[in-house]
Amino acid sequence: MSKITWKHVKHLSDERSVEVFLAKNSIELPLGIVECIKENNGGRPILKIFDTDRTKERVFKSLLSYNRGDKESIYNSYSNELRVKGLFPIALDAAGNFICVNLKSNNALVLLEHESGNIEQIGPTFEDLISGLY
């Protein structure tokens, strides 16, 4: 995966919190996503602009945190609605939309607009998203 600089990374309060949350929810993510989350919990990439199949210049705000007390955490974000759709949120854009792994589509990355429920395709892998940030 392309090396990218992250800022405002939050130290994980429990080193195993990512694995525990995923196991508890029967979620299997690619190792690259898990490693990035663990190394950059809640962090914001320096390069942050990405495109979807429908819109240009979306802003990658931050990864979701795996610390319970953090406002923008997986604990506040992973809902039954997302579970039913087969989407697992890993990050937020600047408008509060979720960047998700589509568990029903080979772990492709999608953007879920929180107000409309529309889904935009980002790319086939997390690595494609990260290496494509500009």
Q: In whole angstroms, give the CA distance from residue 66 to residue 96.
A: 17
Instruction: Express each pLDDT in 61-96 by its tens digit.
Output: 999 999 999 999 999 999 999 999 999 999 999 999
> Cα-atom radius of gyration of the chain, to the nearest Å?
13
Task: Tell me the pLDDT band of 128, cut-offs 50, 70 and 90.
Answer: very high
Amino acid identity of residue 93, one-letter, is D
Q: In whole angstroms, give the CA distance from residue 34 to residue 56.
A: 27
User: Counting every residue, how long is the chain?
Assistant: 134
What DSSP state is assigned to residue 75?
H
Q: What does the domain layout of the chain look like in residue ranges? A: 6-132
Per CATH, the number for 6-132 is 3.40.1580
Instruction: Express each pLDDT in 102-118 by its tens digit.
Output: 999 999 999 999 999 99
Instruction: Express each pLDDT in 9-63 by its tens digit.
Output: 999 999 999 999 999 999 999 999 999 999 999 999 999 999 999 999 999 999 9
